[in-house]
Structure 1
């Protein structure tokens, strides 16, 4: 009982939290609007109805959101800018070496490994929207609005790429959800709340 209330020898110093403003309203709106529109587009594409009008509207929304995020990646606040989180191989490997450490990363924005996901999903969605715009299943109903600007061979090829990228994007989403769970359960870092409130608690060792 003599050591009650005192840390054991060699134990890390207790941490205290510092709340910082992280994600601006545009990033948060983009994120949750993309979640809704992606699942709407994916579900409508997989399970119908046969007339894909609603699927197209969801796809247009995704396209607009991707354009917004790309623009915001150049002119938005620092955490939203690509220059703040897109790093080279050495920074990615350096971060990855500590990925299994059982402590929060306390990154003020996307970490270098997470940046691969951000850039990857934006590229996949951009190409998927593009192929949807020119795709033509020759059913006289569900042709993309720009399908008449390319050959029918190109339109049919675009449909195959569109479906493939839809599955790839869904895999990206599952990976993203898994990463969120890993950070929460293993590293004790909440990635969801900051995307809702815009604020993040950074743990710092007590002095």
Structure 2
């Protein structure tokens, strides 16, 4: 009697032959945060250059509320927005970058290992810039109670950190845009389209990520706005 071949070599998964389907990988709150941040950062830069400081401050406060919301959404929101879902080890990020120029199908759901660290960097820089800017404004206008009790050296250091933060943030934004261009040209991956529509074509075997509640997103945005209002009054 002839022996049977191993089952693992005689069966091809049926999912391999199924056509790709459209999968919603980015939820509405995540996309709104992304594009509103782009607009607000650009507007804040322009108003600072034109010395429209009142408008600049209002933009900074709105931006801080968005950043606080994104941090909360990264803890309680949709699957692809959660930090626990996309923050990989530095080793995995480096391994991913080693194959940056390799052309291959895009089957990534959410941020890749390197992109996750870029998200953390941009959020950290936005948090530093907006918080230091909030205090810097209060110090100039003598609006916040801490403006009178913080030593001059610390106040000056906060102002310098705000200016430095803008420069570093600008560099990080340029790096981010360059990375998007490299992915498009070298790997053939369109990262902008899914951030606009929320959808990406993926193999049928890929599970669609779980989405968070829009009511929860609205609640977290409201909480973030209240926190910023309190900071603006008491920082």
2:156 maps to: 156
d(CA) in 1 for partners of 2:194, 2:45: 26
d(CA) in 2 for partners of 1:76, 1:136: 32
2:136 maps to: 135
Instruction: Report the CA distance shift for 1:116/1:151 in structure 2 as closer, same or farther (over 3 A).
Output: same
1:195 maps to: 195
Query: How many equivalent pairs are there?
Result: 188
Task: Give me the TM-score of the superposition, normalised by structure 1.
Answer: 0.82
1:108 maps to: 109
Q: Deviations over 1:73-125 (max 9, x none)?
A: 01111111001110112321332222221124421001110111100111111
SS at the partner of 1:173?
Answer: helix
Instruction: Report the CA distance shift for 1:201/1:147 in structure 2 as closer, same or farther (over 3 A).
Output: farther
Instruction: Report the CA distance shift for 1:198/1:136 in structure 2 as closer, same or farther (over 3 A).
Output: closer
Task: Give me the TM-score of the superposition, normalised by structure 2.
Answer: 0.73
2:96 maps to: 95
Contact residue 104 and residue 203 of structure 1 kept, 8 A: no
d(CA) in 2 for partners of 1:170, 1:202: 33
SS at the partner of 2:103?
Answer: coil
1:44 maps to: 47
SS at the partner of 1:100?
Answer: coil
Instruction: Report the CA distance shift for 1:104/1:69 in structure 2 as closer, same or farther (over 3 A).
Output: same
Dislocated runs of 4+, deviation >6 Å:
none
SS at the partner of 1:39?
Answer: helix
Instruction: Report the CA distance shift for 1:148/1:107 in structure 2 as closer, same or farther (over 3 A).
Output: farther
Higher helix proportion (structure 1 or 2): 2
d(CA) in 2 for partners of 1:164, 1:29: 27
**Could you say what the CA RMSD is over the residues aligned between the two structures, in angstroms?**
2.5
Contact residue 133 and residue 162 of structure 2 kept, 8 A: yes
1:19 maps to: 22
By how many angstroms is 1:28 displaced?
A: 0.5
**Unaligned runs of at least 5 residues, structure 1:** 1-14
Contact residue 136 and residue 159 of structure 1 kept, 8 A: no
